[in-house]
Amino acid sequence: MSEDQLYFFYDLFQYLINGICQGSIYALIALGYTMVYGIIKLINFAHGEFYMIGAFTGYFCIRGGIPLYFAFPIAMLVPGIIAVLIEKIAYKPIRHAGRIPALITALGVSFFFQYFGQNVLGADPKAFPEVYEETIYNLGEAVSISSTQIIIIVTTLVLMLFLRWLVMSTKVGKAMRATSFNKDASELMGIDTDKIISFTFFIGASMAGAAGVLVGIYYNTVEPMMGLIPGLKAFIAAVLGGIGIIPGAVLGGLVLGVVENLVVGFWESTYRDAVSFGILILILLVKPTGILGTKTKEKV
């Protein structure tokens, strides 16, 4: 192998690692998207904002001297609680009005948090405090992985397995699956669907909150507008994998993260977002149910 080829592969590996790391973040946010969509067919546009709220909660906790292992659960709890409140105040009253009014409300909630945050916290990016000494491990000549990247990938894996366990092997999970399959029938079977929907919002938003803290540590900055683009990207990831399907969200997130980083590495970084949206449109046209989805038909 010539020198050039060797460096090409080094680059490729490096971008793959960065991509998997970025993709894990997308996957964490996409999990919440996909769960909420699966259960009440709502594209929760405000989901990216729970990620922002998580990041800021982490920021204020760590600046207030709370150690990371306490700050992390708090940063998951706070967005979760806010999500439940939002669901009760804004989404529940219009649940029967159809998908478009719900989508518009979600847009409103999303803008509310962005601009409320901008007015209260200031629009300028804030430096996330350093929580631990960063170590960089070299894998071969020009490929490296940082401890933060390892933490992100491992946390995502753990949370995803936890979610998988929660949905597939617990009573709550069974109720969630039943509600998403047929809400009216599960109500007749004695499932408190309102509670289950709130719980889904809570879990989804706390996943996004976790992603927020991880990104805060990784990029060292937090700002009120940080939720918009990752929120949209996570939606793309959820659609790519098959919206409503939990492993699909993770698969979609990882694919999207890797593709984006390859675009940045081997093409131009300014085209990154355009490529992501292109993927979204392509998947909506070719297979709207996503990679892992199965086809359903609309009934009259």
Partner 1 sequence: MEYLAHLTLNCGIFIILAVSLNLINGMAGQFSLGHAGFWAIGAYTGAAFSVFSPLPIPDWMNLFIGCGIGGISASIAGILIGIPCLRLRGDYLAIATLGFSEIIRLLIVNMDVVGGPRGFTNIPKWANLGWVYLWVVITILFISNLMKGTHGRAIISIREDEIAAESIGINTFKYKLMAFVIGSGFAGVAGALFAYSQQFIHPNGFNFLWSVIILLMIILGGLGSITGAVIGAVILTLLPEVLRLMGETISQWRMVIYSLLLIMLMLWRPQGLFGKKELNLSALLGRKKS
Of the candidate residues 11, 187, 194, 273, the single one contacting partner 1 (CB under 8 A): 273
Helix (H, G, I), strand (E, B) or coil at 300: coil
Beta bridge partners of 136: 146
Q: Which stretch binds partner 1 (CB under 8 A): 61-69, 109-117, 156-164, 213-221?
A: 109-117
Contact criterion met (CB below 8 Å) for 128 and 215: no
Pick the binder of partner 1 from 6, 94, 154, 157 (CB under 8 A): 94
At 151, which helix (H) or strand (E)? helix 147-169
Share in percent of the chain as helix, strand, coil (round to 5): 75, 5, 20
Q: Please say which residue, 153 or 232, places its beta carbon nearer to partner 1.
A: 232
Instruction: Using the minimum distance from each CB to partner 1, give the nearer residue, 101 or 140.
Output: 101
Instruction: Give which of 197, 160, 225, 214 is closest to 25, Cα–Cα.
Output: 214
- For partner 1, which stretch binds (CB under 8 A), given 23-31, 107-115, 157-165, 251-259? 107-115
Query: How many helices and strands (H and E) does the chain possess?
Result: 11, 4
Give the range of 7-15, 56-64, 169-177, 232-240 binding partner 1 by CB under 8 A: 232-240
Q: Which CB, 76 or 109, lies closer to partner 1?
A: 109
- The token duo for 283 is 């998947």
Provide the H-helix boundaries in 170-271. 171-181, 183-188, 193-219, 228-241, 246-266
Q: How far is the CB of 80 from partner 1 (least distance, A)?
A: 20
Taking CB under 8 A as the rule, does residue 278 contact partner 1?
Answer: yes
**235 contacts partner 1 (rule: CB under 8 A):** yes
Q: Is 274 in the site for partner 1 (CB under 8 A)?
A: yes
The CB-of-211 to partner 1 minimum distance in angstroms stands at: 20
Q: How far apart are CA 291 and CA 254, in angstroms?
A: 13
**N- to C-terminal Cα distance for the chain?**
61
Q: Which residues bind partner 1 (CB under 8 A)?
A: 43, 90, 93-94, 97, 99-101, 103-105, 107-112, 114-116, 118-119, 228, 232, 235-236, 239, 268, 270-271, 273-274, 277-278, 280-281, 284-285, 288, 298, 300
